[in-house]
């Protein structure tokens, strides 16, 4: 087991399950480094492009691979190797690929962090994983990382901080340029590492205010990559990738699944629909689906034409709530739509195929995928297990709470199975809002809103959103005589607290009281239902 694994007290997969996964070929001995190296042997001349209005880059897989191998060799010369932790907070860029592929070659544990996380979230991740290397930009868009992280990455941490910067930039004391991590000749082959050891830790917001660190191994990710690659119904043409590679699934989609599918990589660093639409036509790129927001933002843009529609014959929808209104709209445009269901903990649980009946593809989340098992308890809560199930959280107590001795993971989602075995998600026990594919902890936002003068209680719930899937809605109970704050006032308040903009509420409602349990707890599922039924007063928005 990896030298860092024991500190997280990771679960042991039941021996009979592990034996079955190996016998069926779902688990192999390949590491992520093996997968990358094997793909580069086939795809060295394939295109790797970053489409950007500020930092475009174009080259080949082979060029990126040589930089990644040099990155790995330089870290090895610094005394790092399998099990050490490489953390990056990078936008969609060539440097992000160099870090991920390089960490895979080294056998290091990769920790991607979404580029828009602020000091609060980044500080928590740093405290949890204790990284050996940290890579960030100097600046991206309106975010000044040197200013944001300067008070967090000090002392010994500053010595581990490497910064991607264009031109001469004054770096904080101890920090060095990213180029200093590419000074050695490329390593010849991936370092050997136990395929059952941690490979990637993806942080995702959960029901608590701090993000959860989800630990995957080389085996679980190898299976997941092959599973998603086989499941995709997209045409055999390159796709544009706009999901942030600092997100667990964005990184896998961009830098692993493309290799498994033998496809070029085309990233956009900012999801600007007008720019994406131009890029699709210029590069003849497919838009194959993803979270609801990425598809609907293109369809709703005035520049969208029949030429773009021709590049979108199929859309696999998942990563956030998929309203039926969206799947029906896409179908009306002639797009073949199918849905899937999973999470960072187990990325591919159920899914449809393009060959399933239309009613199933549009209105269910599909059947159980190969190797995966699910069961529903008396309340409809979904339990799952399979070859792509994570090994545990960075919080061992949470691991014990969420996975039982037989390897069943309590998803926190509620669903129904129809007579044909198709699953439909009907509710979410875990209090997470999935906005455009990004998880938002309702509790975290609630804690910050309670700091507003005059707010007695608050429930942050998911409101349906045809563009994003869902967004955060704040339902407030105010102290007597207190006026309901406006959206502008709420956003100004959250700005001062440093909460990431993506987590801000996008609608506000005022109530005299909440529905409650006998013990006085707010029944948030009833609040969500009231919101969806139009029973809450939206005048404050």
Instruction: Return the domain boundaries, the chain.
Output: 28-194+213-224, 433-532
Please give the model's pTM, rounded to 2 decimal places: 0.84
Residue 9 tokens, joined: 């007290």
Angle at the Cα of 388 from the Cα atoms of 385 and 389, rounded to 5 degrees: 45
**Lookup: tokens for 150:** 């300067």
Q: Is the pLDDT of residue 534 over 60?
A: yes
Whether the predicted pLDDT of 94 surpasses 50: yes
Residue 158: the pLDDT is 96
Tell me 516's DSSP state. B
Give the pLDDT mean for 412-432.
Answer: 85
The model's pLDDT over 209-220, given as tens digits with 9 standing for 90+, comes to 578 999 999 999
Q: What average pLDDT is seen over the chain?
A: 90
Contacts of 380 (CB under 8 A, 6+ apart): 414, 415, 416, 426, 427
Q: What is the DSSP letter of 537?
A: B
pLDDT at 208 over 80: no
φ, ψ (nearest 5 deg) of residue 79: 95, 10
- Is the domain 433-532 a CATH 3.40.50.1980 member? no
Which residues have C-beta within 8 Å of that of residue 64, sequence separation ≥ 6?
A: 48, 94, 97, 98, 101
The candidate with the shortest Cα–Cα distance to 35, out of 299, 223, 212, 317, is 223
Residue tagged 């599973």 (tokens): 227
List of E strands, 304-422: 314-317, 336-341, 350-351, 367-368, 373-376, 381-385, 392-393, 409-417
Which residues lie closer than 8 Å to 423 by C-beta, 6 or more apart? 341, 349, 350, 364, 365, 366, 367, 368, 374, 382, 415, 416, 417
CB proximity list for 6: less than 8 A, separation 6 or greater = none
Mean pLDDT of 323-339: 87
Higher pLDDT, 227 or 429: 227
For residue 205, what are the CA distances in angstroms to 348, 442, 443, 451, 500? Answer: 18, 9, 10, 21, 12
Query: What separation, in Å, do the N-terminal and C-terminal C-alpha atoms of the chain show?
Result: 53
Beta-strand runs (E) in 33-144? 47-51, 57-60, 85-88, 109-112, 133-137, 139-140, 143-144
Q: Give the model confidence (pLDDT) of 431-461 as tens digits.
A: 778 888 888 878 788 878 988 988 888 999 9
- Which two tokens mark 351? 């899914």
Q: Does the fold of domain 433-532 match that of domain 28-194+213-224?
A: no
Whether residue 540 is predicted with pLDDT greater than 50 in this model: the reply is no
Out of 160-164, 242-246, 315-319, 470-474, the most confident range is 160-164
**Structure tokens that stand for 458 in this block:** 């608050």
Contact 157, 188 (CB under 8 A): no
**What DSSP state is assigned to residue 159?**
G
8 A C-beta contact, residue 288 and residue 316:
yes
Q: Quick one: 117 exposed, middle or buried, by C-beta within 10 A (0-12, 13-18, 19+)?
A: buried
Structural contact between residues 242 and 410, judged by C-beta atoms closer than 8 angstroms: no
Q: Is the pLDDT of residue 4 over 80?
A: no
Q: What is the pLDDT of residues 109-159, one digit of tens each?
A: 999 998 888 888 899 999 999 999 999 999 999 999 999 999 999 999 999
How many angstroms separate the CA atoms of 11 and 402, rounded? Answer: 11
Which architecture does CATH list for 28-194+213-224? Answer: 3-Layer(aba) Sandwich (3.40)
User: pLDDT tens digits, residue range 178-188?
Assistant: 999 999 999 99
Task: Count other C-beta atoms under 10 Å from residue 152's C-beta.
Answer: 17
In sequence order, what DSSP letters do the residues of 237-301 get, joined into one string?
S-BEE-S-TTSHHHHHIIIIIHHHTT--EEEESS--HHHHHHHHHHHT-B--EESHHHHHHHHTS
CA 315 to chain centre: 19
More confidently predicted of 38 and 468 = 38
Residues linked to residue 341 through DSSP beta bridges, in sequence order: 350
126-140, 293-307, 335-349, 440-454: range with highest mean pLDDT: 126-140
The answer to whether the CB of 368 falls within 8 A of the CB of 421 is: yes
pLDDT greater than 60 at residue 343: yes
Surface-to-core class of residue 20, CB atoms within 10 Å of its CB (0-12 exposed, 13-18 middle, 19+ buried): middle
Q: What percent of the chain has pLDDT over 90?
A: 62
- CA torsion sign for 307, 313, 319, 323 is positive
Contacts of 431 (CB under 8 A, 6+ apart): 207, 441, 442, 443, 524
């Amino acid at each position: 087991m990896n030298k860092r694994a024991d500190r997280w007290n990771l679960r042991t997969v039941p021996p009979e399950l592990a034996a079955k996964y190996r016998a069926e070929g779902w688990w192999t001995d390949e590491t992520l480094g093996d997968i990358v190296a094997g793909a580069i042997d086939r795809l060295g001349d394939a295109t790797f492009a970053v489409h950007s209005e500020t930092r475009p880059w174009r080259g080949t897989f082979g060029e990126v691979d040589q930089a990644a191998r040099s990155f790995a060799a330089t870290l090895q010369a610094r005394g790092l190797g399998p099990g050490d932790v490489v953390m990056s907070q990078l936008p969609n860029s060539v440097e992000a690929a160099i870090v991920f592929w390089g960490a895979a070659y080294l056998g290091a544990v990769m920790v991607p962090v979404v580029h828009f996380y602020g000091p609060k979230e980044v500080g928590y991740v740093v405290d949890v994983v204790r990284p050996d290397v940290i890579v960030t930009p100097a600046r991206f868009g309106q975010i000044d990382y040197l200013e944001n992280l300067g008070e967090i990455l000090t002392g010994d941490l500053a010595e581990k901080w490497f910064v991607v910067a264009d031109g001469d930039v004054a770096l904080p004391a101890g920090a060095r340029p990213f180029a200093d991590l590419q000074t050695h000749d490329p390593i010849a082959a991936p370092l050997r590492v136990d395929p059952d050891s941690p490979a990637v830790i993806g942080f995702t917001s959960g029901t608590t205010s701090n993000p959860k660190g989800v630990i995957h191994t080389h085996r679980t990710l190898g299976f997941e990559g092959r599973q998603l690659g086989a499941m995709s119904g997209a045409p055999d043409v390159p796709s544009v990738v706009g999901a942030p590679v600092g997100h667990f699934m964005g990184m896998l989609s961009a830098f692993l699944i493309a290799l498994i599918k033998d496809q070029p990589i085309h990233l956009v660093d900012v999801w600007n629909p007008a720019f994406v639409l131009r890029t699709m036509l210029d590069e003849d790129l497919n838009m194959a689906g993803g979270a609801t927001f990425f598809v609907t933002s293109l369809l709703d843009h005035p520049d969208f034409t029949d030429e773009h529609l021709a590049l979108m014959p199929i859309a696999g929808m998942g990563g956030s709530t998929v309203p039926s209104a969206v799947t029906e709209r896409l179908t009306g445009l002639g797009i073949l739509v199918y849905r899937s269901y999973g999470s960072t903990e187990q990325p591919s649980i159920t899914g449809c195929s393009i060959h399933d009946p239309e009613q199933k593809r549009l209105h269910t989340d599909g059947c159980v995928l190969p190797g995966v098992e699910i069961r529903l308890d008396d309340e409809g809560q979904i339990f799952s297990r399979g070859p792509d199930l994570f090994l545990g959280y960075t919080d061992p107590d949470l691991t014990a709470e969420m996975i039982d001795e037989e390897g069943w993971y309590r998803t926190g989602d509620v669903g129904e199975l129809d007579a044909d075995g198709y699953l439909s998600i009907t509710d979410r026990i875990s209090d997470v809002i999935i906005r455009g594919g990004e998880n938002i902890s309702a509790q975290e936002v609630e804690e910050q809103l309670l700091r507003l003068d005059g707010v007695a209680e608050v429930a942050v719930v998911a409101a349906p959103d045809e563009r994003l899937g869902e967004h955060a809605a704040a339902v407030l109970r105010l102290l007597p005589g207190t006026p309901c704050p406006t959206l502008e006032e709420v956003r100004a308040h959250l700005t001062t607290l440093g909460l990431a903009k993506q987590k801000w509420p996008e609608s506000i409602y005022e109530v005299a009281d909440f529905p409650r349990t006998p013990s006085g707890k707010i029944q948030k599922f009833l609040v969500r239902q009231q919101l969806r039924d139009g029973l809450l007063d939206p005048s404050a928005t």
